[in-house]
Structure formats: C-alpha cells, structure tokens
Amino acid sequence: MADERQGQAVDEAHSRPSGLDDMTVEALGELSKALETIHRVRGHLYSAHQLVGGADLTLDRVVKLLREAGHDETADRVKHELLGRNLLPGRWTFQIVEEFDDGYYAAFQEIERDAREKLAGGRRHIYEAEMKERRRTHGMPGHEAMPEE
C-alpha cells in the first residue's frame, strides 16, 4: 500500500522510517550496493567452479586422444599433473565455493541485514526507492511508482 509524503507515492516497504537521516540512508544504500557486488562475485565463483570442473572432465578425452595418436609421454603428463589437480593448495573449486559461502558471503549478508534491522526497521532499498521517486516522470506511462498504479 502506498501513502503520500510530500506529494510523492511511497511504497511502504521501501519508505524511510521516521527520523532516519539522509547520511544513514546513503550508507545503507552503499552497503546494499556492496552486497549486490558480492552476490555477483559469488556467481563468478560458481561459474569458475563449473568451468574448471568441465575442463577437468575434458582432460579424459585429451588423454585418450593423445594415447591414440601415439603421444604417451604427453598423455601421462596431462593425466598425472593436470587431471584432478587442486586449484589452490588442498582445494578443488567446490571447497573454495563452500568456504566463501560459509565465511565471507554469510558474514556480509548477516552484517548488511543487521544494519538494516537496527537502522531502518529492516527495510531494503530505501535509497533506491527515493531515487526512483526523484527520477520518474509522474503521470507518464512506464513511470508508475508501483505495479498497481
């Protein structure tokens, strides 16, 4: 449900709680932006996980083809030095992804959520919602404040 504040339609879930100052709204907006970047990092890590795994599985065919072509020494080197090799000391990519998820990623999400809860009553994207109100052309199709409008 929307209410009218200073002539602007405000989505209650994204409205600024009473007494919340501009600097705090901006700080929470920046924290949210940083978290969104970390979400992208996580996606890239999962992409790397899948790409490295796919490359490792391709090495089976490489070894087979090298052997069939009579290059046993090179096939042995690929098989023994590359196939199944750790990406980082003691870690395959699934272990790296798990450590990231359980450590840095989980901490980042928890701290961002805690900051929103303590400072803005848990509301998300206040900064962006206010920017939307400033930038949209009121009354123009495609510029509605919310889907119901």
- Cβ atoms of residues 6 and 125 within 8 Å: no
pLDDT at 9: 45
The residues facing 2 across adjacent strands are 11
Average pLDDT for 76-104: 97
Segment 85-110 shows an average pLDDT of: 98
For residue 4, which phi and psi values (nearest 5 degrees)? -100, 125
pLDDT at position 12 over 90: no
Among positive and negative, which fits the CA dihedral 40, 42, 48, 53?
negative
Helix and strand totals (H; E) in the chain: 5, 2
Contact 33, 124 (CB under 8 A): no
For residue 79, how many C-alpha atoms fall within 13 Å in the half-sphere facing its CB? 13
Mean per-residue pLDDT for 29-34? Answer: 97
- pLDDT of 61 strictly over 70: yes
